[in-house]
Structure 1
Amino acid sequence: MAKLFPSHVLTLFPGFVAWNASTTVMVFANTEETATEKIMLKAVCRKRQIPPLGWPMKSQVLKTYQHILALAFSVSEVNRDPVLLTNTTLGFRIYGDNSDAKRTYESSLSLLSTRGEVAPNYQCDSRDKLFSVIGGLSSKSSMQMAYLFGILKIPQLGYGSFSPVEREMLPSFFRIDPNEVSQYVGLVQLLLHFRWNWIGLITSDDDTGENFIRTLMPMLTKNDICVSSVEMINERLMKRLATNLFRKSLIKWQSKAMIISVDYKEVAVLIYKLEFLRKDFRPSRVRVWIVTTRWDFAALGAQMHWKELEYFHGALSFRVHTSDVQGFNKFLLALNPARPEGDVFLRNWWQMAFNCWFPIAGQTSSKRKCTGKEKLEDLPPSVFETRMTGHSYTMYNAIYSVAHALHAMYSLRPTRAMMREGKKPLAIQPWQILSFLRNIRFNNSAGDEVSFTDNSVVGSSGYDLLNWIYFQNESTALVKVGRMDPGAPQDAANCAQCPEDQYPSKDQDQCIAKKINFLSYHEALGFVLASLALSLSLITSLILVTFIKNKDTPIVRANNRNLTYILLVSLLLCFLCSFLFIGQPKKVTCLLRQMAFGITFSLAISSILAKTVTVVLAFMATKPGNVARKLLKTQLASTIVLVCSLIQAVICAIWLATSPPFPNLDFYSMAVEIVVECNEGSVTMFYSVLSYMGFLAVISFMVAFLARKLPDSFNEAKFITFSMLVFCSVWVSFVPTYLSTKGKFMVAVEIFSILASGAGLLGCIFLPKCYIILLRPNLNSREHLIRKKYQGA
């Protein structure tokens, strides 16, 4: 179905980790000050010292570690680029804000000072030059940082939305996450898709929660979605909330869907309360939980027991969309706690993630020892993902945005008179980067375009919709089931179904003609099969000519020479009938292909059965008075061939008379192709032909197996046994393979089975005889025959 979607389209497929640490990106460059300036700076910098910042708590380390790795990976990748920043090296320092205003301000002030000092606007250490700040997951922490850094016009790339008035006051802030309004639009579309029109809302009791309610409620009202309850909670309130009051709140949560927009701390307390009241509140009472990007599954999975996550089995979660960045997965899998290479977080994170410990002298633990060989891919996605998450991806784009802005500025420096006369270039100041950052436009390594308009990232790919799955073996999975794309094309409010000979485009905005699908001589598969059929036909013809030229030799005359000719001719026809299956199906070819295949193969197997029966009768005729002598004098072999072939011919005639095959166009088996096929008419008759052929093959195999050790100079029974074993193996494997394929590949499977089984009969029965006729003619003599008979007796 072709669809012309409105913007902010939610696409469901058939069927976030949040970051709470501020980071800084710095360019390491040498700066020069006069002697007077150095003395003044040293005096100011001795005024106050602060304790080291930037070492997050354990839960923070576990929660934000991939973002730290994404930062390190991005900076390392930029520094290895021989073109982007030729004579400049990027470095970084990491600070944890812990959602605490005081801590955030202290961290921000320390970035404007020498390490370990608080002396804003004075920097005693000339090694680290601050050029930009990346951080602040929430609007609140981003704003706290932005007011401070905006005074000095230091670029800040962070998260969260501001009002137009606030945006005017913060010109140096650049937003790098998608606009949450598009997430709310996708949320409403999701509710409408599943017709969930009776919902409840749970959000945090702060500015972010109020903004969530203020923005979402008008959208719900406009689309006739009723809200049964609105719960605004915070961590402290949830901890103090009495059990009885909480039980009353649960009664209001009996909706078709509950939408949660809270951070990981509030979720942890919420789950604790739900677990405490397990008898009163079962997971099945809420049909589905829908979670916004504020919820961090990684932080939750690290703190909760697996059993507690059962509440959210089947939950749907929005997450910032990410693309696969080449090399990042390899970078993660190369982590080795035995060689952390300056990563001060790795060993602590490893111990928490794998629930083990690295032995320390004088300390003991009940946990198992870490070997360092644990595999990251074995961790559940609720703890760690081995692909770049949405917020790690925005981190990656932020680092490259700064790098490209610096590259653009360095490229223009000679033309802007930024060099002293005959001396070193002027030092770059952070405020000089702003104009370049606003105007950058580049494609990252994943192929996505990154740019900024009105200080907000453009080209963001929106959100992914994930399905949270909890298994009874206490494992979890996050399955991508949909996509929210703010950049989807505009024009129509309804859908028009494409004609059956067309299919919708990827954007579902037009219908495209389907390609014709049949096995053609012009494609590689058809050419190879046709060449193979032709080669086997020629080989069979050469063998037939060889046997005719040597018709009076004992090896040809043995076991009925006429049956040998019939078998070779029937195998030749079998190989030639393969050409009826190649090419565009027509009425004549559809009528002939299965009939020719069934009758010729039945003729071949019947002749084999007759030859085997002849061997048995010849042995029995050596005994005096045995009736086998009389049977050999009759036309028993010819009768077997005629009757067995005639039965198959009658089955085919009934097929043609009742429901014959016919050419057909299949529009539905394949999404973008029309299959031109021969409809078999009656599937029952098709499998009747196969079944009868299989019956003859089994009988021939059994008789040949019993006669394989009879004494005779040219006893074919042993070779027939192997040939029928190959034949039966091919056609037993044919049925499931044929039923599991579609289009031209079904035809190719049948052709291959015809050629393989025919080649098995030809090779096992006739190659040994051709070897004697052509290469060992001394064995093809009457004297040798008499000697072999005497030895056998």
Structure 2
Amino acid sequence: MVVFVVLLFVLLPLAVTKVSLLKCNISDPLPINHKYYQPGDFIIGGIMSQIYIFLGDITFEMRPSPALFEDPVYFSARATYLASMELLSTQDKFTPNYKCDSKNNLVAIIGGPNSYISLSMATILCNYKIPQLTYGSAPVIDKETQGVFFYRMFPNRDHQYRGILHLLLHFRWTWSGLVYLNDNNGERFVQNMLTVFYANGICFDFIERFPQLDFSSQVLAMAKEGSKTVRVVSQSTANAVVVHGEIQTMIIFRTMLHYSVFEGLAVKTKVWIMTAQMDITTIPFQRSFDLHFMHGALSFAMHSEEMLGFQRFLQKQNPTSAKKDGFIREFWELAFECSFPNSDIKKQDVEICNGEEKLETIPMSVFETRMTKHSYSMYNAVYAVAQALHAMLLSTSKHRAMADGGRRKVLYQHPWQLHHFLKSVSFNNSAREEISFDENGDLVAGFDIINWVAYPNQSFLRVRVGKVDPTASEDKQLTISEDAIVWTSRFNQAVPLSMCVDSCHPGYRKVKKEGKPFCCYDCLPCPAGKISDKNDMDDCFQCPEDHYPNNEQNICITKDISFLSYDEPFGISLATSALLFSSLTALVLRIFIKHQNTPIVKANNRNITYTLLCSLLLSFLCVFLFIGQPGKVTCLLRQTAFGIIFSLAVSCVLAKTIIVVLSFMATKPGSRMRKWLGRRLANSIVLCCSLIQSLICAVWLSTSPPFPHFDMHSTSEEIVLECNEGSNIMFSCVLGFLGFLAIVSFTVAFLARKLPDSFNEAKFITFSMLMFCSVWMSFVPTYLSTKGKYMVAVEIFSILSSSAGLLICIFSPKCYIIVVRPELNSREELMRRKN
């Protein structure tokens, strides 16, 4: 059975164009009539039909092209060439390249509806430099030869492709599919744009081609081939599928899906994302096909506005009201499945058309009573030619005119003369939308995003839910209202997910799976110290220096400034200990001063004892330089005061120890050590040792003094406010000299621990220096392995423990005798114990 194509992109635009021309009333804005203008013609509809429009009295003639009924090949080059050559022949006489009727001059051609027709049309007509306006998809042509004669009532295709990319990224449909028509535009899309999609994180589970639609007898073979594509689409886990095609692609698409269901293949619901070139089209045997697959689909569409009075005009149309319209009778018969008695197309077993049928009763898949996007483009194309002709008339009438019986007549002999005026045409149509072309001949406009809502009775709605504005910034080109979108029931009215795997949540990073597309990945936790604060991040990143990751590693938390303060228990306990020990030292000093004339106090250099107690008191008090917020002054005094005070204390212990040894040696007969005894030696030892340490500290402060410093890295969750030592070498010299004094003191005390004497302090000094050395030997590794404010705490603890060791080990036995056993603190007891 030969199936004649009743395509909406041909039938409806032709009817719409006529209505649009009557509605816009070209004779009003363009005051042209017979006395100023010799009628020309321009043709609409490509191979299917011709409309001769005579500006002046605005008369129309519509008649079907012979190619419609002579060639069973749909959209064939042969039919297009034939129709194009007819335009270059004398009217009603097919003599190619010969035209003798001067009253019908070809001005411009409006063709379409797909790129294949436009390309075939351009092959013939570009040789004659005839302006061609395409209301459908533009072909891929040579810009330098054919492109100069082309004007596309379609925005730049790259704007649509970027819109598709932005749409996929907006809904995070990174795992998608692609089905495209196997033509030049489809191949160009695959070759040029897929790399852009991949670069922006979009990958495709499958890339399939639509089968080719050629002859009506091959529909079954086409459907079988298409069922393989449908099987691939249905088995895919991608829920979003980009469909790139032309206006006739919908015929193939519907046939594929219907045949697949007929074969028992369950077609899984997808979100179809269709290009603007596609639209609902129907051939007779598809009238009963379900449109439910379109429910929830998204498509791009050329921007359009409603035309007032259009539907009212359609309601008045019938075959008898358009006597000069030879096309409407064929449309009427095919649309209503009836036949006129005198029809050229003989049909069997069909009803007789009475001409009173209502267009509203036709299924929307066959005929829509609202102006479609292609019809709107055709309307603008006619208007653009009319405006260009008007501009051309005003220009040429000033230079090329001749009198003819009191009338002026403008002659158009060269079609290429219209190009200049078409390039610069700019006007507002009756819907108050501005129409103009860019430098490449593309319509300056954006795209609408349409949501399809289908109903069981084969009716549907196109709901505008967004738009693509190519003039906006890159991040604002796409605007869409998610709440206005109706999704298919499979997704429970929630935004569908189309990803290879679930998103990697914040705190995780993507790791590519071997052998899988880059959209398929595993999710691994971020390494320690790094975060990811968005879904599907390729890598984790470090927080700023003054922030640290939370436990989930998805946000950065501001670090608190940390230092050993008086507000925390640790600082309070250390400060309390320092106060207690300093009070105890002051008490011991007071006891010794009170009992300064007793033998036990006077023994072994009373002044050195006082100096030792004062240095111990200062060592306890210097702890307060380490507690609290570090400042410039406290940083300068901390280590230097500690080093000098402790050197003074240890030098006092060393002096006392040396005095004990010399005192014993001086008791031997004939010893020359007596001359070394006295205050001069002890004072010299103390003064010399303290002076050396003070000199080291002075060099330190003059070369590289300590300063307040914010340590960002020692601890992960805090900023440590500390005193930077300035020079670690000088700090090591201070500690080294102090350690040297301690070792010498311990050695001398250890050697003198068994010397006989009633008040021999060597044993007590040995124990105290043993404790002192143990504390500071353990201090070094502990200090180096501790971070933050606890480094300060370690040093404070070492100061307190070593100072307390000296105080307790040296002075507790003496205080015991002075306070508890005063009877032992006498000369007689001293001599008795000595003997």
Relative contact order, higher structure (CA 8 A, sep 6+): 1
> Whose helix proportion is higher, 1 or 2?
1
